[in-house]
Amino acid sequence: MTSPVRKHVVMNVVELAHVQHTGVDVVYHDIREGKLEHIIVGKKNIKITAAASERRLGLSPGDLDPLIEEYRARKLGDSKTAY
């Protein structure tokens, strides 16, 4: 049995808040409480693994990919129209 190919290995706090339908404060709280696996890149850049997020949400591997894609596409679209 082969594992599905992931498009996204990590996501940021805002992206996770979006796919969980919560605020970033909830995500930061869970990180502080040790309830969420995360990686700190540099001094302040926090990344959450997609695998940990899927386990937390009861999703199958790769299920978050479309939601992350949708968020990033919308975010990119918003930045293009901001000018």
pLDDT, position 83: 42
Mean pLDDT by 10 residues, the chain (83 residues): 74 93 95 93 92 90 91 78 46
With a CB cutoff of 8 Å and minimum separation 6, the contacts of 64 are 8, 11, 19, 50, 53, 54, 57
pLDDT, position 82: 46
pTM of the model: 0.79
pLDDT, position 8: 85
pLDDT, position 13: 95
| Within a domain: 2 | no
| Within a domain: 42 | yes
| Within a domain: 4 | no
Angle subtended at Cα 46 by Cα 51 and Cα 11, rounded to the nearest 5 degrees: 40
| Within a domain: 3 | no
- Which residues on adjacent β-strands are paired with residue 10? 49
pLDDT, position 76: 79
Three-state SS at 60: coil
| Within a domain: 43 | yes
Which of 52, 15, 21, 56 has its CA nearest to residue 37? 52
| Overall number of domains in the chain | 1
| Within a domain: 28 | yes
